[in-house]
Structure 1
Amino acid sequence: MRGKRIGSGAAMLAGALAVTGLALAPSAAAVTPLTANVTASCGLFGGGAATLTATQTGTAATLKLTSTAITTPIAIGANSISSTLTMANSTGSARVFSGTVNPAMPAGSTITVGPLNGTVASGDSLDFYGGSLKMVVFGITVTCTTSAAQTPGPFVFS
């Protein structure tokens, strides 16, 4: 009987250690870097430094653009900007992220769009340089572009 208790105890200890090891294992980031900076030119919205933030879950990904330099010339209601962000992909076809997610912004406010949804493949290397952000506000299209690669580098998806 005593041999069974030791064997059962050892099995339980091994199981507990395995679960603890899984719980403490570091989680791998699906996309790197998580943020990148660009200098964008956005027509009547102005231009300047902007930050892109990326997330990934499997083949689903989101990108968000925020900028204190790019501003709205008029008040814009929440979720009223139809945005399409096209990212150049050094490993294949460009990837498109779209949506109508934005906070309410009074005239002169800094711009935020996203998260915008898109699909990626493992190994995609996406950069705003060579792509664009098109925002449709009250039927007017505003296009943002950049003349340099994003820093610290492209978003690489796993």
Structure 2
Amino acid sequence: MRHGRLGIGALLGIGVMAAGSLAMAPTANAVTPETATISFDCGSFGSGTATLTATQDGTAATISVSTSAITAPIPISANSVKSTLTLTKNGSDTATFTGNANPAIPAGGAVSTGLLDGTVAAGDSLEAKSLVVVVFGITATCNATSPQSPGPFVF
């Protein structure tokens, strides 16, 4: 009986230590805001708003873009849209996020870039400037016509 109590006590002690270690572990870096909106003009392809969603893990960051400014005239298969998002970095420099991890897009659906990958440093402030989307060899260039709302991404 005494061994059973000792075993339970030891397990509880290990559990408390593990929980304490998790509580003291460094948290993943955060970006604020996580989601922003912006307006784009894509020339003859149209214009509209875009939703940008950002995440960060250390110096690696991703931004996904979904926009009503460009719609798919025919179904587009997953991973076939090549996208480059250019952002103003800290007010004067630029940063680019690229990728081709889009989800499948139905005919008439809003274009989504999927995750675009880039690199950031602590304190970087990024605001979308332009988006270049290449589908079936056709390039659509979209330029921001409004500031990001509620504001730039700060990493």
Smaller-chain TM-score range?
0.7 to 0.9
Out of 119, 124, 130, the position equivalent to 1:132 is: 130
Out of 148, 151, 157, the position equivalent to 2:149 is: 151
Q: Find the counterpart in structure 2 of residue 3 from structure 1.
A: none
Gaps of 5+ in 2: 1-8
Question: Whole-Å Cα distance in 1 between the matches of residues 99 and 27 of structure 2?
Answer: 28
Question: Whole-Å Cα distance in 2 between the matches of residues 154 and 42 of structure 1?
Answer: 21
The residue identity in structure 2 corresponding to 1:125 is S
Partner SS, residue 116 of structure 2: strand
Partner SS, residue 23 of structure 1: helix
Larger mean CA deviation between 15-24 and 70-79 belongs to 15-24
Say if 1:92 and 1:124, in contact at 8 Å, map to a contact too.
no
Q: Find the counterpart in structure 1 of residue 51 from structure 2.
A: 51
Q: How does 1:11-90 map to 2 (within 5 A)?
A: 16=16, 19-20=19-20, 22-23=22-23, 27=27, 30-68=30-68, 70-90=70-90
Q: Which runs of 4+ in 1 moved over 4 A?
A: 24-29
Structure 1 position 142 matched with structure 2 position 140: yes
Say if 2:29 and 2:57, in contact at 8 Å, map to a contact too.
no
The residue identity in structure 2 corresponding to 1:146 is A
TM-score (norm 1): 0.78
TM-score (norm 2): 0.79
Shift of the 100–32 alpha-carbon distance from structure 1 to 2, 3 Å rule, reads same
Aligned length: 144
Shift of the 67–35 alpha-carbon distance from structure 1 to 2, 3 Å rule, reads same
Question: Whole-Å Cα distance in 2 between the matches of residues 65 and 50 of structure 1?
Answer: 6
Say if 2:42 and 2:69, in contact at 8 Å, map to a contact too.
no
Identity, in percent, stands at 55
The residue identity in structure 2 corresponding to 1:98 is T
Gaps of 5+ in 1: 1-8
Write out per-residue CA displacement over residues 45-71 of structure 1, whole angstroms, 9 at most, x where no aligned residue. Answer: 322121000000000000000134531
The residue identity in structure 1 corresponding to 2:136 is F
Q: Find the counterpart in structure 1 of residue 117 from structure 2.
A: 117
Question: Whole-Å Cα distance in 2 between the matches of residues 25 and 92 of structure 1?
Answer: 35
The residue identity in structure 2 corresponding to 1:35 is T
The residue identity in structure 1 corresponding to 2:135 is V
Question: Whole-Å Cα distance in 1 between the matches of residues 53 and 126 of structure 2?
Answer: 12
RMSD of Structure 2 on Structure 1 (CA)? 2.7
Question: Whole-Å Cα distance in 1 between the matches of residues 123 and 134 of structure 2?
Answer: 31
Say if 1:81 and 1:100, in contact at 8 Å, map to a contact too.
yes
